[in-house]
Amino acid sequence: MAQIFEHFVVCGIGPEIRTVDGARGFHGFAEMYLPSLLDQFPPANHTLYPPPPPQLPTCVLPAGVSFYSSGFDSSDATTFPRSYPIVLTEGDGSKIYVSCIAFRDPVSEDIAEAYCIPANSFADKCICLVSRSPSLRLLKNVLEELFALCFSSSGSSKPLWDIIASMVSNVPLPTPGKDRVLFAIDNCLLSVETPPKDGLPYVDISFQPLVQCLDVDNLIKFFTAVLLERRILIRSHKYSLLTLASEAICYLIYPFRWQQVYIPLLFFSGVDYIDAPTPYMMGLHSGVDTSTLAMDGVVIVDLEFNRITTTEDIPSIPEPELSCLRQEITQLLYPNVVGIDLMKDGLFSSSEQYPKLGNKPWGEDHDLQLRLVFLKFFASLLSGYRNFIELSATHVFNVQAFLKMRSRSTQQPPEPMLTQFLESHGFMDYLERGLGSDENNNNLLDKLQDALGRGQNPISILPSNSVEPEIITIADTDVGTSGSGGTYTYDRFPSNIRTEEEEEKRKQILAAASGLSASSPSVLPGKDPKSETLTPLERAAERECMVLDIKVKLQGLWLRLLKLGPTDDPLSSFEYGTILALIESDAEGIGGSGFVECIREHINSGWHCQLTEEQFIAVKELLKTAISRATSRNDWLTIRDALEVSAEMFKKDGNNVSDYVQRHLISLSIWEELRFWESYFDCLMERSSNKSANYASLVTDQLSLVELHMAGLGLPDLDAWYMIETIAEKNNIGYTQFIKLRGLLSHVQQLRIGYWGISSFKAQSMSHGLASPRSKDAAVESQQPAEASGVGRSWVQSMFSRDNSTRLNSFSRVRKWTSDGGSSATNENGTSRKRELSAAGQKKTQTNVRVLRGHTGPITALHCVTRREVWDLVGDREDAGFFISGSTDCTVKIWDPSFRGNELRATLKGHTRTIRAISSDRGKVVSGSDDQSVLVWDKQTTQLLEELKGHDAQISCARMLSGERVLTAAHDGTVKMWDVRTDTCVATVGRCSSAVLCMEYDDSTGILAAGGRDAIANIWDIRAGRQMHKLLGHTKWIRSIRMVGDTVVTGSDDWTARMWSISRGTCDAVLACHAGPILSVEYSTLDRGIITGSTDGLLRFWENVEGGIRCVKNVTVHTAAILSINAAEHWLGIGAADNSMSLFHRPQEKLGGFSNTGSKMAGWQLYRTPQRTAAVVRCVATDLERKRICSGDRKGQLRLWEATINI
């Protein structure tokens, strides 16, 4: 069982004395001195307990240590001991609770002698009790009892440190709602218990100081500033008030949590932290001068004078919640005034919603009622919020829809206070904590909303205390001199027994101090006082203060650097120069690591990471300097962080293509060192949250991340593969994992070349004779140009070849393989690619390729109008066979291939951003865009009919259905059905936890299938209004989906395709032989076969056989990602990212023999393929009825291939 007390600590003047300015030695009674950690239990060398926080001495004596000529004087109140609590916050947000008693204690004789301090002098000393439990009242009572026992005239029956050791070691933390622990300190009996976890959070403080210091209006104003996460400074002359007010307001915002910097009691020397640009809540003694600070936008809460001041307005809480909140607080604080006109007795009784507290002094019941008042406020303000929680890729809560609903109910426009609160970190943290966790089941806000809706008493949501807690008694151990009847009295707080090593070190420090004092009353000439030896805890505390100070400065400089105008030169700015100086002049690396950490925190706060051209240059140079300095110190942590943040920040070039900072760091030599990448891989393995995964898979996943960074930097292909291979061999992964890693590396290298071309590098990086690619943004669609088709292709072909020598040559560096028992299908039943292409060449005739120009930006969506969509006539000819394209130029164009030289039929304008999805029926065209809208056009008149708005992110899929309906999917994770006639959303028929990338719908059965970034294939029955299945199995994004009858086929970035049964909701087969993400899948109805296409450029044919499904044929006609597969009964059209196309034919006369003599799927034969031209293709559409395939490239051109085949 965990212990309730973590440490007992004594802080004060140690053997090494320094002023708060760093000067060593004693400089008189007027100076303030740095406190040190003097004693502690458990001792520092105890291996089972972590050390106390290094900043503890500075925080418990925030003003520092003073020397005095006299001690305690009962007639002088300034000499009385002071008892106060403090709260420390760790990096993960957890709190450490400390109770302190500060008092004057005699200066040790050896210290006074060494530093020539006047005899009989006193100095501040502080004893502290540290705990992780928020039991501040208990900590205060225990500590005061120990203090009284120490200075009691009757003394104690045991040595004081033995009593402390017994208490810290033996008193357990009680089980919430079940246990009450009884323990004794000498002859004083104490108890501790905590309430059940399903009630309000446990708090052991009184809220009375807060409501006594601030009136109702100022309390509400303070509360509002906290909710809106302002920069808040609390002032008071009393340490206790600062901590109690800070903690009280944090409990009053339940169920939300303060997510920003939290220092309830700021040490005096840290006053500069108030200028930090980020939100914070700090408490500062009123005696500290802040006149030199800007204080712009800081909300100053003065508890002494009941005053709140700020240079920025705090929006008011909206009505009617404000009036209700003010009335209930007033009724609780001043019940006799509020009810002065009410009858005390009679026919009518007062409200029984709350217990009658008017005649009682403030107690725990008042604290509870105050917390319920604020919880009721949240229940009213957020009424109905649960209906607007959405699990989408961009957000979890539909703020705009909620505000519209509230505006309709209140007949008022959206309130600024509520709008800001809904966008705060605290509100988002509350939603994220509630989704999919046990906390959602014990959500008191939801319970209170339900209870108020039913007219129940708010008290009913709290657990009852009907069960008496179990009493656990901690026996008093006999430590020390037992049975002798002796007592222990002290004239000062005793020191704990020191070890011989500690005693020797103390003597050495005092001896050195004695020599210093003899030579000079001040500091020795030429010596830096801070260069002298510090204790480990003092050094850690000093470094932490220095790091915090530099980090605060860097945060302000970084934000100002990003706010420079377009006419400002960042390289000549004060901000750039100061950041550079902090990085270059800091030998310990605090400036460089702090700068990188500052960028990371800004990214985590929601920064979009886009830089201007000038900012890009400045940030690039600063990162280069930080990495170079870190390299000289072997500071791998800073280099790793810099590598990761450089992959996030980018600028846009003239073609609106992202250019990342990481791409410009290749000149640094650190990337050529294997030891760095080994350390980075080890770091990724330690950070991995999926510790339970298969070890080989875990290694592969982390090495894949390493490969992305290598490609992002632009390391040469062979250099990068050598380092990846070396790390992989040390971790003994299997043959299949090696294939995946080599495939991914070649794939991302090709992507880099497609966007940035082949670049030259330093001479030492060119020893292998292969120019290295560099990466592009991972979010850009996976496209590969013809120029890059040779990079990494030989190894892909060799993996599925029977020529062992070729296979070994393609992995010439590999010396050891670990077999995983996998096998690969042969190409064309063992025949080589050369024979297949030769056979195809015998049938090849002259083809017809047309280039259709009209768009001014890359083609991003392409649709072919099929005969199934069009069953009536448009004019005097069939509409089937038209191609409809969309582009980044925000236009939709309709093309009629039957008119040579005049194919462009119409241009549809209306979108404001890139077109992503197109569909059509006999009379309408529907398009979806990044502008979050869906537009419906009349195909004949080209007039805009309707604009469908309701999605909160870019549209990914659109489909016209019968009955004037439209089905759309978007990156907000929703699938919506629209009625075009009424311009309304009929229903949100599907909801995913992340962006939807692909969908299929069977209009005859009403079954909808969708997949996307959450790696889940979701199946809904729209007509029944229910979700049928969540098909789990993929580990990465689902890129493609195909549904035929009871079968769904999905292709994923995890390099596998899966076949599912809709009726059973099970996975019938996993197709895993590709060496890259699967972008397209197709299902052949005639023979129940599957065709898959991947970024590895391979086309695979799978066939159902007894005992499962196997690959019976793989084709290597294409050298880049397969983007489109379209199958009919006898024809198969393929389009790839390298601008290559192919048409496969299955002769009708051979169909009868397949079932008996061989494979059905193997009957597909390559019929024709046109001559390929250099272009990067983004999308492909196929018209198999007319043997046409059309592709759209990055230059805005369509390439239409018409095979002109005579059947």
Q: Which of 941, 945, 950, 946 is nearest to 969 (CA)?
A: 950
| Lowest mean per-residue pLDDT among 364-368, 565-569, 868-872 | 868-872
Secondary structure tally for the chain: helices H, strands E? 28, 50
- Cα four-point dihedral sign 542, 543, 545, 550: positive
Q: What is the pLDDT of residue 1110?
A: 83
Has residue 1207 got a pLDDT over 50?
no
Rounded Cα distance between 405 and 388, Å, is 10
CA geometry: angle 905, 906, 908, nearest 5 deg: 155
Q: Which residues contact 724 (CB under 8 A, 6 or more apart)?
A: 677, 703, 706, 707, 710, 741, 745
**CB 875: neighbour CB atoms within 10 A?**
7
Residues of the chain above pLDDT 70, percent: 82
Q: Which residues contact 13 (CB under 8 A, 6 or more apart)?
A: 33, 35, 36, 65, 67, 107, 111, 123, 124, 125
Q: What is the pLDDT of residue 878?
A: 55
Give residue-wise pLDDT tens across range 66-77.
999 999 998 999
Rounded Cα distance between 1083 and 1103, Å, is 10
Cβ density class 450-487: b for 16+ within 10 Å, e for less: ebbeeeeebeebbeeeeeebeebeeebeeebeeeeeee
The beta strands (E) that lie in 353-476 are given as 470-473
CB 1024 within 8 A of CB 985: no
Confidence of residue 1154 (pLDDT cuts 50, 70, 90): very low
Alpha helices in 285-357 (DSSP H): 321-333, 335-338
Burial (CB count within 10 angstroms: exposed 0-12, middle 13-18, buried 19+), residue 873: exposed
Model confidence, pTM: 0.53
User: Is residue 571 classed as helix, strand or coil in its secondary structure?
Assistant: helix
Among left, alpha and beta (phi > 0; psi -120 to 50; other), residue 1200 is beta
Has residue 766 got a pLDDT over 50?
no
Confidence of residue 806 (pLDDT cuts 50, 70, 90): very low
The phi, psi pair for 75, rounded to 5°, reads: -95, -5
Has residue 930 got a pLDDT over 80?
yes
Has residue 761 got a pLDDT over 80?
no
Give residue-wise pLDDT tens across range 638-674.
899 999 999 999 887 666 778 889 888 888 888 888 8
Has residue 719 got a pLDDT over 70?
yes
Amino acid identity, position 859: I
Has residue 1048 got a pLDDT over 80?
yes
In the block, tokens 């210290």 appear at: 111
Amino acid identity, position 426: G
CA geometry: angle 831, 837, 842, nearest 5 deg: 115
Mean pLDDT, rounded, for 303-328: 92
CA 637 to chain centre: 19
- Most confident by average pLDDT, 206-210, 443-447, 556-560, 619-623: 206-210
Q: What pairs with residue 1143 in β-bridges?
A: 1133, 1168
Rounded Cα distance between 681 and 529, Å, is 41
Rounded Cα distance between 656 and 672, Å, is 31
Mean pLDDT, rounded, for 472-482: 63
**CB 161: neighbour CB atoms within 10 A?**
17
Amino acid identity, position 917: A
Alpha helices in 236-320 (DSSP H): 239-252
Q: Which residues contact 512 (CB under 8 A, 6 or more apart)?
A: none
Q: Which residues contact 753 (CB under 8 A, 6 or more apart)?
A: 773, 785, 787, 788, 791
Mean pLDDT, rounded, for 139-157: 90
In the block, tokens 């791998």 appear at: 636
CB 1030 within 8 A of CB 1016: yes
Give residue-wise pLDDT tens across range 521-541.
444 344 444 444 555 666 666
Specify the length of the chain in residues. 1207
Q: What is the C-alpha R_g of the chain?
A: 37
For helices 717-730 and 674-687, give the axis angle rounded to 10 degrees.
50
| Lowest mean per-residue pLDDT among 279-293, 376-390, 588-602, 754-768 | 754-768
Mean pLDDT, rounded, for 621-649: 88
Q: What pairs with residue 686 in β-bridges?
A: none
CB 952 within 8 A of CB 398: yes
Rounded Cα distance between 311 and 296, Å, is 6
Give residue-wise pLDDT tens across range 48-87.
777 888 889 999 999 999 999 999 998 999 999 999 999 9
Rounded Cα distance between 424 and 606, Å, is 11
- Which helix (DSSP H) or strand (DSSP E) does residue 381 occupy? helix 364-381
Q: How far is CA 844 from CA 785, 806, 838, 1145, in A?
A: 24, 29, 10, 13
Has residue 1118 got a pLDDT over 90?
no
| Lowest mean per-residue pLDDT among 213-227, 534-548, 558-572, 1193-1207 | 534-548
Cβ density class 561-595: b for 16+ within 10 Å, e for less: bbebeeeeebeebebbebbbebbeebeebbbbbbb
- 1031-1038: long-range pairs with CB below 8 Å, 24+: 1031/1058, 1031/1060, 1031/1065, 1031/1067, 1033/1058, 1033/1067, 1033/1070, 1034/1058, 1036/1077, 1037/997, 1037/1012, 1037/1013, 1037/1077, 1038/997, 1038/998, 1038/1011, 1038/1012
Q: What is the pLDDT of residue 147?
A: 93
Asked whether the bond before 494 is cis by omega within 30 degrees of 0, the reply is no
Alpha helices in 757-877 (DSSP H): 793-799, 804-810, 833-843
Q: What is the pLDDT of residue 373?
A: 94
Q: What is the pLDDT of residue 917?
A: 94
Mean pLDDT, rounded, for 173-187: 85
